[in-house]
Amino acid sequence: MAKKKPNKKESRFQHEVIRELEERLPGCVVMKNATGLKDGFPDITVYHGSHWAMLECKRSEGESHRPNQDWWVDHLNEMSFASFIYPENRQVVMQKVVNYLGDAAGYSQEKEDGYELEQAC
C-alpha cells in the first residue's frame, strides 16, 4: 500500500491539536507518530504523568478511514485512551483527553472549570 501523503489541511489540524494539548496539559509530551511503520497507527501520542493517549486526526467527520485505523483506535483505547478527532468533535474529544490524562496526573480541568463531562471512553 502506498504511503499516505499528508494533506495540508489535515497537517494544519494536527498542529492545532498538538498546540492545544500542550496548552491544556502543562508538562505533557506530545509526539507526532511516524507514518508507514504500522499501517493505520494513530497520528499523535500524548504522554502525561504515567499515562498516555493516542489520537487519529481526520479533516472531517465524513473522511474515510484507512485500513486498520479502526482496529488500532479500538485496540489502543482498551489499553489506555484513543480516539478519532476531527473539527466537528474536537471540543468533546479534547475535553475527554484532558480529563483522562489530567486525572491520571492528579489534575482535572473539569474540576478547575467547575463542570463535568462524562468520563473518557
For residue 30, the domain's CATH number is 3.40.1350.10
- Domain membership of residue 1 (yes or no) is no
What is the residue range of 44's domain?
A: 8-109
Residues 12-44 have pLDDT tens digits of 999 999 999 999 999 999 999 988 778 999 999
Read off the pTM: 0.79
| Percent of the chain scoring above 70 in pLDDT | 79
> What is the number of structural domains in the chain?
1
106 near 51, Cβ under 8 Å? no
The mean per-residue pLDDT over the stretch 73-99 comes to: 97
- Domain membership of residue 89 (yes or no) is yes
User: What is the number of alpha carbons within 13 Å of residue 95 lying toward its C-beta?
Assistant: 12
CA atoms of 45 and 31, how far apart (whole Å): 5
